[in-house]
A and B are shown apart, each in its own frame.
Chain A
């Protein structure tokens, strides 16, 4: 059959991928690859730069602080996000639409505008400070990890709410009624029936929020302080101020690997769940 084999081989379709791959490869993969080489090379193959991370006394402290902050953010996001997502599954479509739009607002608020707003709110003599002063508390959150945590939680809440919403909407509420019909107290019914069923979404949301918290740069840089810096700040500082490219690359690789492992784990726990989260994540990225 002359000519038949040539006509519809799949190769032309694959050709459409070439431009995108060229762009991603040159702009992202090559720099990341060079980072990797730099972190383990210069001049000979060595793990020295990674070793330094754990022995310089600073990096480990910053990593611990970052993990603590991320954990706090995660807990706050969970405590606020669960009731929110739960109510979203209960109300009529109109109110649900409104609640969803509200969730998405942080996605669309400009990064700098949002951080600027938090500076205003948390600064000395700002509304939060004045409010606390009325109770005799002279607490300024601006310039502290606490302030950073509050601002980060706000941005990351959607990443908790959306996976939770998707998980909770899948739960048949009649099970709750059935449990109560069998004599359970409403709270007991919730605890024994509803909560276990929602756990998959919860875990995915927790991992996602935690992971995203690790990479925040702008929020800690603007609302935190250099004395209490988080890992992203350290990474920036090593690059632009200390010009320790090899050390910065090693730290960057460490952050990248931790992030990828956590994201893969979240992905494993629930396809659609992390999909929503990750896609949403895209919009906010560092955002902060």
Chain B
């Protein structure tokens, strides 16, 4: 389970290795790829990215409804997003919650990954499963259970409630990416460091940390995006006094019919794309060395 994440992410971002398998070419003649397969895959690819493409032109519309194709061209929706206190406050809340919960998740998740490193056996497997539980639990089930309990603990609508809930569901991402970074980590380096006179805490700072920092950063970004984009739990924990951006977006289509959501969507999509690119950049830099 630990490998997969990094595989996905590195394979995606990796500039294709300089011709590793040219032999493939030679089989083409014998084993051709049918042209219709390319057509199907092209259409499926469009299906993958279509929705993303549509929010960007929508955000420059001058209409006050969700009509498509968008009418005219204006920055009105962006203006509204950045001047309307409701949108701005929810953006601020989202960033705040995401930063705090990602920090919390990164600290406890990294510690847990180190704690589980090189441990095998039933108990360690069980521990790992417990920490990963939120991944296989449907968000709605968590949301309902957390909501009812938080009502009693008076955490609904509080920033503490949001941060704790989001940190809890973000821990698996940190755990996975740090564990994967530790997988490529040669334990002999720890012995080498000790033999060279470094006590354990110095070894951690000078050897372990620098070598797994990429995994930690990846995990932190995953955790941030998870929280920033989380709707289901946020919908249950919201209060008139405190709500996050996804919740405001939800309101804007269910209650208000406010096309500002188009501007908000474009901004979020752009921001997440940039974060992704940064992540790839971090990933590749580490590899070229």
Contact = CB atoms under 8 A, between A and B. Distances in A.
Contacts of B173: 282-283
A90 B54 CA distance: 30
Interface in B232-271: 232, 235-236, 246, 249-250, 253-254, 261-262, 264-266, 268-269
A152 interface: no
A222 B148 contact: no
Interface string B9-41: 001111111011100110100110100011011
Contacts of A23: 104, 108, 164, 167-168, 171
Contact of A117 (B52, B67, B108, B250): B52
A276 interface: yes
B276 interface: yes
A16 B114 contact: yes
Contacts of A74: none
Contact of A110 (B131, B145, B265): B265
B146 A27 contact: yes
Nearest to B135: A282
B102 interface: no
Contact of B149 (A16, A30, A101, A121): A30
B111 A121 contact: no
Interface string A141-178: 00000000000001001000010000000000100110
B149 A24 contact: no
B273 interface: yes
Interface stretch (A46-54, A197-205, A244-252): A244-252
Interface string B105-127: 00111011011110100000001
B9 to A, nearest CB: 8
Interface stretch (A55-63, A92-100, A132-140): A92-100
Contacts of A276: 4, 7-8
A256 B67 CA distance: 39
A184 interface: no
A9 to B, nearest CB: 13
B106 to A, nearest CB: 11
Contacts of A81: 44
Task: Kindly name the residue among B17, B21, B25, B111 whose own CB sees the greatest number of chain A CB atoms within 10 A.
Answer: B111
Contacts of A83: 37, 40-41, 44
Interface string A247-264: 011001001100110010
B207 interface: no
A279 interface: yes
Nearest to B11: A100
B19 to A, nearest CB: 8
A239 B148 contact: yes
B157 interface: no
Contact of B8 (A31, A162, A222): A162
A281 interface: yes
B146 A93 contact: no
B82 interface: no
A183 B230 CA distance: 55
A161 to B, nearest CB: 9
A91 interface: yes
A83 B34 CA distance: 11
Interface stretch (B73-81, B136-144, B208-216, B281-289): B136-144
Interface of B: 1-5, 7-8, 11-17, 19-21, 24-25, 27, 30-31, 33, 37-38, 40-41, 44-45, 47-52, 54-55, 58, 66-69, 104, 107-109, 111-112, 114-117, 119, 127, 130-131, 133-150, 164-165, 167-169, 171-173, 175-176, 222, 225-226, 229-232, 235-236, 246, 249-250, 253-254, 261-262, 264-266, 268-269, 272-273, 276
9 contacts: A20-B109, A30-B149, A102-B48, A113-B266, A120-B66, A157-B48, A260-B137, A276-B4, A285-B226
Given A97-B11, A109-B51, A239-B144, 6 more contacts: A13-B115, A24-B133, A92-B25, A177-B31, A255-B141, A279-B176
